[in-house]
Structure 1
Amino acid sequence: MKQQKIRAQSMTRRLILWLTGAATAFWLIAAGLGVSVMHDEFGEIFDGSLQETAERLVPMIVTDLDRRKDPAYPPHLRDESDDAGEEYLVYQVRDAKGDILFRSHDAPAKPFGAPLKRGFWTDDTYRFFTATSADHAVFVQVADALANRSEASTEGGMALFLPVLILIPVSVLLIWLIVRRTLAPVDDLRRAIEEKDGGNMAPVPSGTLPRELRPIARSVNHLLTRLQSAFDAEREFTANSAHELRTPIAGALAQTQMLIAELDGPKKRRAQQIETSLVNLGHTAEKLLQLARAEAGIGTGTTRVDLARVLELVVTDFERGDPASRRLRLHRAAGAKLEGTYSEDAFAIVLRNLIENALVHGRADEPVDIRLETNGVVRIVNGAAALTPDELAAIRKRFGRGNTASPGSGLGLSIAERLLQQMNAGFEVLSPATDRADGFEVVLRFGGGEVAG
């Protein structure tokens, strides 16, 4: 059954999206309500203007009609023959029969469809208001085109929505800045907790955290204190166990060797087998103790050290104690240095395991080359048959051993890799070795400390 991958979502991103969406929705709702109210208010304003215009025209037109009966008095109201600009309001003056007495120049030549009755009336094109004289002989019908009202409402709505289109991205930016600034302590706390490992158990600073996050910091600090106590107890147990295990094994081995010197024949061969078993037991116990120390997190360092000096000391120690170590050849590039905040003890354990593996599993007639390069790289190369990718993967596993009859516990590479992880160093196993058709090569790349070359 396939497990579905759940992608972790950012709390900051979700807050920004939700707040932006809510702010945008509120802006749009407010603008929509504003357009609706504005449309109603515009209708009232237009109707008021329409009614006022019609009612003001009635007495003027009645007076003018009375004066027109005198031939000597020239008319002063415009009729359909007048040439003027486009009119916003148009009107017709009609008699009781509905005939047009005169009209504004933009008014249609045919009578309006509005009834000769005082009040408002609307058709598909116009909004009318009809006003009448006191004797109901003259009717003035003023019309306002509905297209004009729609245009005014559209322009008013655009005046409301266009600023919203500008305010939305500005709001997004402000929300992003506010959310990032507000959640910055959360991010600081996350990074502080993320940096904690087996070698960094310093308390999380909580003095600058908001009140809501301080209980989390206190809980984390309590947990770190308990972990530090557990690690200290484990390291103390490991150190004590190393002595307690070595002593009885060394004593049993010494007694067995004395017994071998006193025996002969088949009994001596059996005692020699016991000696071999005790040697292997001591070697395995030593590796298990190294593995326990690696798991306890001894790879991290707090002081600046020179690992190049440690490398030379370990090679010298091998040359003094093991005849097979005459195959070791140390190459140090001119000016190569390897300095930084590392653990000398952990680096020595790594080198001992890797060099021991090279001597034991490499060809006895080929040298083991140890190179310190100027870019913070240490290479250990020995002669051996080329391994397949599956064999390389197998020997990197704990207790993994390749197709070899050489003695060993299968823990050397696991111990080295674990300690190098704690030292923030790269670890690479190659077979065949670089620029060779066979061989075995281990590459250590140091970048966690300050590497000078």
Structure 2
Amino acid sequence: MSMPRPRSIARELRISLGLTLLAFWLLAAGLAFSVMQEEMGEVFDSALQETAERLAPLVIDDLYTREDTSAPRKLTALRENVPDEYLTYQVRDGSGRVLLHSHNVSADPYEAPLVEGFWSGDEKRIFTVAAVSGSIFVQVADSLDHRREASIEGVTALLMPLLLLLPASLIAVSWFVRRNVSEVDRLKRVIGLRDSGNLAPIDLKDLPIELEPIQQSVNLLIKRVDDALEAERSLTANSAHELRTPIAGALAQSQLLLSELQDGQTRDRARQVDAALRKLSVLTEKLLQLARADAGIGKSAVTSDLSTILDIVMEEFLRNRQSGSVLHYHRPEKMVLSREVDPDAFAIAARNLVENALAYRLPDTHVDVHLKPDGLRVSNLTSTKTLLAPEKLRQRFVRGHSLHPGSGLGLAIVERLATQMGAQLELTATPLAPDQSRFDASIVFRDP
């Protein structure tokens, strides 16, 4: 089932104005044609009547000078092969018999009655003049086809300019609509650039007065959202900072307590407390990173060598006894990755990708970290059962099935920072065996 086409104000304006303009043009042409047809009819009738009245005395004189009136007399044409002879005439007596007729009509009497005035049939319009006390009738006929032809030629002459003017009018309407709607498009584009990473007020100059309230309302909404996000970030950062010290102290006390207790139920409970404190410490650290990511630290005006930043991060992991033995760092010699990115933001993103791979790798497998010309890729083998859809893994507080402690914020933080750094987080899972897949998490920078 196809999706409905989205509405467009500009398109609807062009269509409605174009159809309205076309309707008015056709209405004007119809009215003009109606008036023209009526006036042309009056002109034709006037010419028909005047011809009959001027012809009547002439044919009467001709009849009285002629001796034989028993058979209809046909007048010969003065010129042969004259085109477009539309008027014909007959002279009839009181009984209807044809006494005289023009060369371009037969001797069969017209269908018109012998009554003075106009009469219309299917093919002719006839004007009748009575003479000699109503004993002689002169009938002059005009072809209705001629009148229709004249009307068609008239309306054609009227519509021909319309065929040229109407497209020009539609083009002008479209141009004016596009020109005026361009201000709406400009405001739409600027509003579309606003998100939680860009909450700068909109300051468009020379906006039409109809759009000024929209700009003011959007700016007011942006300020409210910015205030709410800032309050949320401040609460998260302050809470995490305040929790760091007591958690670290509690962890130290739990370690001291474990060293003093003998094996038994009390020591097991102490281990549970220690594990809970470590999980809380990890969550606190991730919340701090999330607060910094929400603050928009990813972009920088200064170009940084990110390959050096990655070297420092990897050195920290490689020195650790647990992670160093399973990490394989692939760094081509003399490769430099330079971007206008905040070093701390890139370090946080890289550290989260490596930590995620270490947490979800299969036992006795390693983690590969590749420095690429366009970014960073971290790969690990994992169980297919622990994998979730990439769309879900990008969400906050969502994590795969693993016994390793985690907060479900690592990939969400990387997603947020990658967007700010002008990069993209790509997550792919490639099945290798019935219960084994290779999981790749990559930060791919767009062209600098």
Instruction: Give the Cα separation in 1 of the matches to 2:387 and 2:280.
Output: 31
Instruction: Give the Cα separation in 2 of the matches to 1:21 and 1:58.
Output: 55
Deviations for 1:116-165, whole angstroms, at most 9, x for unmatched residues? 33211122221011123355454321100111111211222222233333
Q: Which residue of 1 aligns with 2:238?
A: 240
Q: Which residue of 2 aligns with 1:163?
A: 161
Q: Which residue of 2 aligns with 1:440?
A: 439
Q: Which residue of 1 aligns with 2:423?
A: 425
Deviations for 1:254-282, whole angstroms, at most 9, x for unmatched residues? 22223334444435554444333322221
The Cα shift of 1:390 comes to 5.3
Distance 1:302 1:177, change over 3 A: farther
Q: Are the aligned partners of 1:79 and 1:103 in contact in 2 as well (CA < 8 Å)?
A: no
SS in 2 for 1:405: coil
Q: Are the aligned partners of 1:350 and 1:415 in contact in 2 as well (CA < 8 Å)?
A: yes
Specify every segment of 5 or more residues in structure 1 that has no aligned partner in the other structure, as ranges.
Answer: 71-76
Matched, 1:36 2:34: yes
Instruction: Give the Cα separation in 1 of the matches to 2:120 and 2:246.
Output: 114
Q: Which residue of 1 aligns with 2:285?
A: 286
What is the one-letter code of the residue matched to 1:78?
A: L
Q: Which residue of 2 aligns with 1:277?
A: 276
Deviations for 1:14-35, whole angstroms, at most 9, x for unmatched residues? 1111111111111111111122
Instruction: Give the Cα separation in 2 of the matches to 1:233 and 1:403.
Output: 33
Instruction: Give the Cα separation in 2 of the matches to 1:40 and 1:261.
Output: 116
Distance 1:133 1:82, change over 3 A: farther
Distance 1:124 1:350, change over 3 A: same
Q: Are the aligned partners of 1:19 and 1:175 in contact in 2 as well (CA < 8 Å)?
A: yes
Q: Which residue of 2 aligns with 1:20?
A: 18
Q: Are the aligned partners of 1:427 and 1:443 in contact in 2 as well (CA < 8 Å)?
A: yes
Distance 1:390 1:204, change over 3 A: closer
What is the one-letter code of the residue matched to 1:128?
A: I
Q: Which residue of 1 aligns with 2:143?
A: 145
Q: Are the aligned partners of 2:386 and 2:402 in contact in 1 as well (CA < 8 Å)?
A: no
Matched, 1:352 2:347: no
Distance 1:194 1:161, change over 3 A: same
* More moved, 262-271 vs 386-395: 386-395
Instruction: Give the Cα separation in 1 of the matches to 2:333 and 2:55.
Output: 109
Q: Are the aligned partners of 2:128 and 2:137 in contact in 1 as well (CA < 8 Å)?
A: yes
The Cα shift of 1:334 comes to 6.3
Q: 1:252 aligns with which of 236, 250, 253?
A: 250
The Cα shift of 1:385 comes to 3.8
The Cα shift of 1:214 comes to 1.3
What is the one-letter code of the residue matched to 2:42?
A: E
Distance 1:63 1:389, change over 3 A: farther
Q: Which residue of 2 aligns with 1:73?
A: none
1:52-451 paired onto structure 2 within 5 Å: 52-66=50-64, 78-79=75-76, 83-86=80-83, 87-133=85-131, 135-266=133-264, 267-268=266-267, 270-294=269-293, 296-298=294-296, 300-306=298-304, 307-321=306-320, 323-333=322-332, 337-363=336-362, 365-374=364-373, 376-386=374-384, 398-432=396-430, 438-447=437-446, 450-451=447-448
* More moved, 341-350 vs 261-270: 261-270
Q: Are the aligned partners of 2:299 and 2:420 in contact in 1 as well (CA < 8 Å)?
A: no
Q: Are the aligned partners of 2:424 and 2:444 in contact in 1 as well (CA < 8 Å)?
A: yes
Count, aligned residues: 438
Specify every segment of 5 or more residues in structure 2 that has no aligned partner in the other structure, as ranges.
Answer: 69-73
Distance 1:180 1:379, change over 3 A: same
* More moved, 413-422 vs 376-385: 413-422
Instruction: Give the Cα separation in 1 of the matches to 2:322 and 2:248.
Output: 21
Instruction: Give the Cα separation in 2 of the matches to 1:128 and 1:409.
Output: 103
Q: Are the aligned partners of 1:95 and 1:138 in contact in 2 as well (CA < 8 Å)?
A: yes
Instruction: Give the Cα separation in 1 of the matches to 2:162 and 2:430.
Output: 67
Instruction: Give the Cα separation in 1 of the matches to 2:129 and 2:334.
Output: 108
Distance 1:385 1:101, change over 3 A: same
Distance 1:319 1:44, change over 3 A: same
Q: Are the aligned partners of 2:329 and 2:370 in contact in 1 as well (CA < 8 Å)?
A: yes
SS in 1 for 2:115: coil
The Cα shift of 1:218 comes to 1.8
Superposition TM-score, scaled by structure 1 size: 0.85
The Cα shift of 1:5 comes to 7.5
- Same amino acid, percent of matched pairs: 44
The Cα shift of 1:109 comes to 1.4
Q: Are the aligned partners of 1:325 and 1:359 in contact in 2 as well (CA < 8 Å)?
A: no
What is the one-letter code of the residue matched to 1:236?
A: S
What is the one-letter code of the residue matched to 1:214?
A: E
Distance 1:343 1:104, change over 3 A: farther
Distance 1:279 1:219, change over 3 A: same
SS in 2 for 1:196: coil
The Cα shift of 1:419 comes to 3.4
Distance 1:95 1:337, change over 3 A: farther
* More moved, 244-253 vs 256-265: 256-265
The Cα shift of 1:112 comes to 1.4
